[in-house]
Amino acid sequence: MIHVIRLNAILLASLIIITGCAETLQFTKKSDPTPDSNSTEEATTLLIPPSSSPEVSDEKFDPSVSEIETGSSDPLDASKLAETEPTAKSPDTNETQSMLDEALDFCQVSQEFWQKGELENALEALDQAYSLILQVEAEDNPKLIQQKEDLRFTISKRILEIHASRNIVVNGNHNAIPMEMNRHVKYELERFTTGPEKEFFSAAYKRSGLYRQEIVNALKEAGLPEELAWLPLIESGFKVKALSSARALGLWQFIPSTGYKFGLKRNRYVDERMDPTKATQAAIAYLKELHNIFGDWATVLAAYNCGEGRVLRLIRSQNINYLDNFWDLYERLPRETARYVPRFLATLHILNKPEEYGIDKITPDAPLVYDTVTVSRQVRLKDVAAAVDASEKELIGLNPELRYKLLPGDQYSLRVPAKKGDVLMAKIEQIPVSNLPQASYRYHRVRKGETLSVIARRYRTSASKIARANKIRTTSIIRVGQRLKIPQSGTVVASRTSRNKKSYGQVSRHVVKRGDSLWNLARKYGTTTKKIQRANNLRSSRLSIGQVLKIPGAAADTAPQSQSKIYRVKSGDSPFKIAQMHNMPLERFLRTNKLTPRSKIYPGQKVYVE
């Protein structure tokens, strides 16, 4: 009977994987920490049909401890499965829920056995769980039915994974990185030392001094090979803000879902994937998990790059024990991943013989030295830098995870230059509080049956403003799926070019700055790109910084006058106060700065005054 149950589960899981009809959702169950884990949370992976599952990235799959974004910052506790039930339960419902809870416990026990390498015991626990859910009858309770289906998919998938893991020789240890030399490694070694990537390698090696010693210390404490401290050289070139085409970010190149899974916070203020210390701890946890799964560092590195799910699928398709020679799998991996392992091994060979490859002539940057101060005030790094007599660039380098150079304002651990911590604490109350600037626009995807008027009512704006923001007419036809810019409250949208003949006789001059283009100049001055090109005899749309342009048809009051000066907004300022302070009519101040009576201004913002 047990073997029949297990066979049915395996066939079901195979069907799921072949058809791709299921996605992954994690339900985390609290448990006591195991000796092999630093985490007090372990997760049970549930599979549910796409119709009811959230969108989850298949980039990196975790068979042991996994926590994927489900729209809430709190993981679901196993005990909470029952909380969704009606408060008044019948005896049958209570008994059914108890059986499902027991099945979930067996899934967790199976997970613990698997982590310890006791595969037979792990399979026996899953058999027990599967036999329990076969006894569950919950035809009249949709929530219990959903729990049953979730567990059934989980058990089936886990059995398949355990059988696949039998094809992996878990005989490595944390200190066994194979220093192989073959044609693949030689090719990458030549690129780094004499080929097109020599400059990249040298620059990355120089930057490594900033972070490597801290990474080495963390690896030693975790019992992992020190050589892994060179992985960021391959991943990001030791650039904390390196961003890949797959949206992987930071020294260790975490995608958002994997970063979240390993505790890297990401919100409006911070993205901890760019924090070297926190990202290193997350990378260590991930590498330890991968080593527990594969037991071979070459495979671990491949899985770190392209995701363990993809590597496991390749293993399942193999009929041989490929890990007797990792390079049997080399040709079947994605090209980027296939090169990843030899690139890392080439790096180790070069750094083991720095004199031979000329690396000894490069002096790595000095490690970062700083004080850490807990700040509960929402202030800008620029203002903090002025208070402690340091440069803003230095503070940005110490706190790269701050997305807008603005502290969150809730017990944030700010790094400041050494011996500046006490200075900051003494002056923190004198630093002005700042806020994130309001976005000028948001975006809307047109749905069936929507018109500009309908969309305008939804966002509390006008159809004419939306039309002007998108360079269309209010009578224009909008298509389903079209992406429209929606101006936020207080945003001034330039009107269409005036047809008044008086505007044609007005000409002003503009000195081209970084970021200028004919299009935004035409919009700024209320004219057209063709008129600017014609007035300046331009054959193309290319501009150069410092170039002086004649702007035809520009209204005299739309651009700041030559006698105007710049005023930096302070805390407590309002358009009325600033206009009164500089003896300007409020209407002129608003028009000069392209503001409306409802516009908001922020400390640090530059405005024109007379």
User: What pLDDT digit, counting tens, does each position of 338-396 carry?
Assistant: 888 999 999 999 999 999 998 999 999 999 999 999 999 999 999 999 999 999 999 99
Residue 509 is which amino acid? Answer: R
When pLDDT is averaged across residues 317-337 and rounded to a whole number, the result is 65
DSSP 186: H
First to last CA, the chain: 90
Least confident range of 174-183, 194-203, 478-487: 174-183
Residue with tokens 């047990």: 2
Per-residue tokens: 279 = 């990202």
Catalytic-residue membership of 429: no
Three-class secondary structure of residue 487 per DSSP: strand
CA 263, 269, 270 angle in degrees (round to 5)? Answer: 35
Q: Give dist(CA 168, CA 124) in Å, integer.
A: 20
* Nearest partner of 424 among 412, 416, 432, 433, judged by Cα: 416
Q: Which residue has the higher pLDDT, 323 or 421?
A: 421
- 501-552 maps to which CATH number? 3.10.350.10
**Structure token pair of residue 527:** 């004219």
d(CA 29, CA 76): 7
Q: Which is more confident, 383 or 31?
A: 383
CATH architecture of the domain formed by 565-609: Roll (3.10)
Q: What is the mean pLDDT of residues 146-172?
A: 68
Instruction: Say what the pLDDT of residue 576 is.
Output: 81
Using the structure block, give the residue that is written with the tokens 């990401």: 266
More confident residue, 81 or 406: 406
What is the pLDDT confidence band of residue 118, given thresholds at 50, 70 and 90?
confident
Burial of 14 (0-12, 13-18, 19+ CB in 10 A): middle
**CA 601 to CA 608: how far, in whole Å?**
13
Inter-residue contact 320 to 199 (CB < 8 Å): no
Tell me: the pLDDT tens digits for 222-277? 999 999 999 999 999 999 999 988 889 999 999 998 999 999 999 989 999 999 99
User: How many Å separate Cα 378 from the centre of its chain?
Assistant: 23
pLDDT at 164: 58
User: Are residues 234 and 219 in contact, defined by beta-carbon separation less than 8 angstroms?
Assistant: no
| Mean pLDDT of the region 67-83 | 36
Residue 323 pLDDT: 46
79 pLDDT band (50/70/90 cuts)?
A: very low
Q: For residue 294, which of 259, 262, 261, 329 has the smallest C-alpha distance?
A: 329
Per-residue model confidence (pLDDT) at position 297: 86
- 441-445 and 483-487 strand pairing: antiparallel
More confident residue, 513 or 91: 513
Paired strand residues for 441: 487
Task: Taking the CA atoms of 244, 250, 251 and 254 in sequence, report the sign of the dihedral they define.
Answer: negative
Please write down the long-range contacts of 9-15, taking CB distance under 8 Å and 24 or more positions apart: 9/126, 9/130, 9/152, 9/155, 9/156, 9/159, 10/156, 10/159, 10/160, 10/163, 12/152, 12/153, 12/156, 13/153, 13/156, 13/157, 13/159, 13/160, 14/160
Q: Are domains 441-487 and 565-609 of this chain identical in fold?
A: yes
Query: Helix 119-134 crosses helix 2-19 at what angle (to 10 degrees)?
Result: 90
Residue-level pLDDT at 319: 53
Mean pLDDT is lowest, of 264-273, 316-325, 409-418, 482-491, for: 316-325
**pLDDT score recorded for residue 537:** 85
Q: Structure tokens of 560?
A: 């700041």
pTM attached to this predicted model = 0.53
Q: In the prediction, which pLDDT does 493 show?
A: 67
Q: Residue 400 — pLDDT band, cuts 50, 70, 90?
A: very high
- What radius of gyration, in Å, describes the C-alpha atoms of the chain? 31
Residue 320 has pLDDT above 60, yes or no: no
Q: Is the pLDDT of residue 28 over 50?
A: no
State yes or no: pLDDT of 80 exceeds 50: no
Least confident of 138-142, 441-445, 605-609: 138-142
d(CA 144, CA 12): 20
What amino acid occupies position 322?
Y
Q: What is the largest CA-CA distance in the chain?
A: 94
How far does Cα 566 stand from its chain's mean position? 37
Q: Once rounded to an integer, what is the mean pLDDT over residues 36-44?
A: 36
Give pLDDT, residue 422. Answer: 92
User: Which of 275, 438, 305, 299 has its CA nearest to residue 372?
Assistant: 275
At 555-594, the pLDDT tens digits run 444 444 445 788 888 888 888 888 888 888 887 788 788 7
Residue of higher predicted confidence among 27 and 512: 512
The larger pLDDT score, comparing residue 7 to residue 136, is at 136
Range from 399-403, 480-484, 599-603 carrying the lowest mean pLDDT: 599-603
Percent of the chain with pLDDT over 90: 32
Contact 450, 483 (CB under 8 A): no
Cα 355 from Cα 371, distance rounded (Å): 36
Location of structure tokens 């300022």:
573
The per-residue pLDDT of the chain, averaged, comes to 77
Structure tokens belonging to residue 354:
């720095």
CB atoms within 10 A of CB 236: 22
List, as one string, the DSSP characters of 291-349.
HHHH--HHHHHHHHHH-HHHHHHHHHT-SS-GGGSGGGTGGGS-HHHHHHHHHHHHHHH
The answer on pLDDT for 62 being more than 50 is: no
Query: Collapsing DSSP states into helix, strand and coil, what is residue 605?
Result: coil
* pLDDT on residue 108: 84
C-alpha 571/C-alpha 596 separation (Å) is 20
Please give the Cα distance from 534 to 515 (Å, whole number). Answer: 21
- Residue pLDDT, tens place only, 461-472: 899 889 988 988
Residues contacting residue 337 through CB under 8 Å, at least 6 positions apart: 302, 305, 306
**CATH class of the domain at 441-487:** alpha beta
The sign of the CA dihedral 28, 29, 35, 38 is positive
Domain ranges for the chain: 2-165, 183-244+278-353, 370-430, 441-487, 501-552, 565-609
Question: Would you list the DSSP string of 495-550?
Answer: PPPP--GGGGG-EEEEE--TT--HHHHHHHHTS-HHHHHHHTT-SSS---TT-EEE
Q: Which pLDDT value is given to residue 91? A: 52
Q: Of these residues, 188, 235, 289, 308, which one is catalytic?
A: 235
3-state secondary structure of 373: strand
Phi/psi at 103 (5° precision): -65, -40
Q: How many CA atoms lie within 13 A of 99 on its CB side?
A: 18
